[in-house]
Amino acid sequence: MKIFVPAMGRVNTRNRDGSEVRFAEMAKEWIARGEDLHILLPEREVDVLSQQGVRGATLQVLKEPVGSERDSLSNVLIVYAVRMLQSLRVKYPAPVDVIYAPSDFLVDTIPAFLCKLRNKRARLFVCVFLLAPHPLKGYQGIHTDRRRFPTARGVLYYLTQKITIRLTRRLHGKLLVLNNADRDTLIESGVAGADVIVVSMGVDVDGFSRTPADVHGEYDGIFLGRLHPQKGVLDLIEIWKRVCAKRSSSRLAVVGGGDEWWFDQLRRRIEAEGLQANIDLLGFRAGEEKVKLLKSAKCLVIPSYYESWGMVAIEAMSCGLPVVAYDLPVFRDIFPQGMVRVPIGDTDAMADAVLTLTTEPEYAGRLSREAVSHARKFEWGAIADAELRVLAGQR
């Protein structure tokens, strides 16, 4: 199949989210199977894909008129606006069999829609891997009746996602989601059931197992993810304060990128609680370096208030790490083994779960074996094959 992908990417290339990692893995598998990928991307994303092992695709590269990679709202809007304007002048390939937008951001979907207008018979797929919460609730208010003052980012994300879904439906495209709950939500909003398809994340279990650990047990816990309220990053400090109150030598690695504002907030909280010797802010790490850090820990800590799947969980499980997480409904479906779930927002319960895993080796060992066994069900090769059948219309 000839597949067109507008992978316009994030502004900050020193960070990755699950959808970006997923597309790189899908692309590698599809190219290895002989599929013809044509990728539209900005200059800075060429190295990002290359670093993730994507080679052999036909690339159409757009110039970067804005060099800054700051995560500030103004810079993001400027970069995305320029990239969308550039997409109006792109010479889109024709004919193509499939148009595949790896995110629901307008910077990816606008060029996908423009390509669809030139390729009437092409099958259109848009990945909606995170349903935007209502701006008055935000991620932390999803599970409660609590309201809050909306943020500009929250409003923009919510409204632009609505636009993407509406335009996808008008162009007779399919929406790809990561769990049944999101599928049900879209159907309740009026999308036809046949137009919403559940797909999966995956992991390279063998690749992770080949990476040696530098020092196992260097950290009692590790957090891996974007520094964002959705991920419960401020809960981390409260959780670790409680862990250290009972075991003062406990150490936590915080691995992930994000706006410098969040790094400053975490640094201040850490200093205020006197936890400088217990929490290391390590920034964004990828590839082998990330795997080694995972293997240096005894468990993964996920205080997220909202997840559509949980890619960091399966990556940790493939390294043999038990996972401690808030009891999100999606986790109950996807991770019945290898994960300890505690009530949402209960930092005391999460601290106790971490302490149990780090002080009871027999219990931790059993969960570790369960984690590795469960992770093997999500090898990227099988996930890529299943998605190719969806793109080919064989589902």
- CA angle 203/367/275 to nearest 5° reads 85
The stretch 278-297 carries a mean pLDDT of 91
User: Looking at the DSSP assignment, which residues form a beta bridge with residue 3?
Assistant: 37, 98
CA 304, 309, 312, 313 dihedral sign is positive
pLDDT of residue 72: 85
- In the chain, what percentage of residues exceed pLDDT 90? 75
Cβ 218 vs Cβ 189: under 8 Å: no
Cβ 70 vs Cβ 92: under 8 Å: no
| Cα–Cα dist 111/105, whole Å | 11
| Cα–Cα dist 147/207, whole Å | 44
- Beta-carbon count within 10 A of 61 CB: 13
| Cα–Cα dist 76/310, whole Å | 25
Encode pLDDT of 328-373 as tens digits: 999 998 999 999 999 999 999 999 999 999 999 999 999 999 999 9
Considering only CA atoms, give the Rg of the chain.
Answer: 21
Instruction: Point out the least confidently predicted range of 255-269, 320-334, 373-387.
Output: 255-269
Mean pLDDT of the chain: 92
Tokens coding 317? 């499980």
pLDDT band at 141 (very low <50, low <70, confident <90, very high): low
